[in-house]
Amino acid sequence: MGRRRRKVVRIPKKRLPKFFSCPMCGKASVRVEMFRDEGRAVVSCGSCGAKEEFPVKGALGEIDIYCMFTDKIYTDARRL
């Protein structure tokens, strides 16, 4: 008896957290907006108003942009 198995291919989508925690105020209110057409991304905190813009190259994702944001904040903080 030939039994046919239906293939169920489910690709689990990893949901990114919408908000990241802010290195400035510590609240989870940092949002990364990607403008791939324009080749830039804007990171902004809805709580303390910290805002940075970064160029988006290749396959950079929200997480990468967020890392650049925290790096920059920490670098700036060290400089002051």
Which spans of this chain sit near Zn ion (rule: CB under 5 A)? Answer: 22, 24-25, 45, 47-48, 50
Indicate the helix (H) or strand (E) that contains 68: helix 62-79
Minimum CB distance to Zn ion smaller for 47 or for 70: 47
Q: How far is the CB of 24 from Zn ion (least distance, A)?
A: 4
Minimum CB distance to Zn ion smaller for 13 or for 78: 78
Q: How far is the CB of 32 from Zn ion (least distance, A)?
A: 13
Minimum CB distance to Zn ion smaller for 39 or for 49: 49
Cβ burial, residue 45 (10 Å; 0-12/13-18/19+): buried
Nearest to 43 by CA among 19, 25, 27: 19
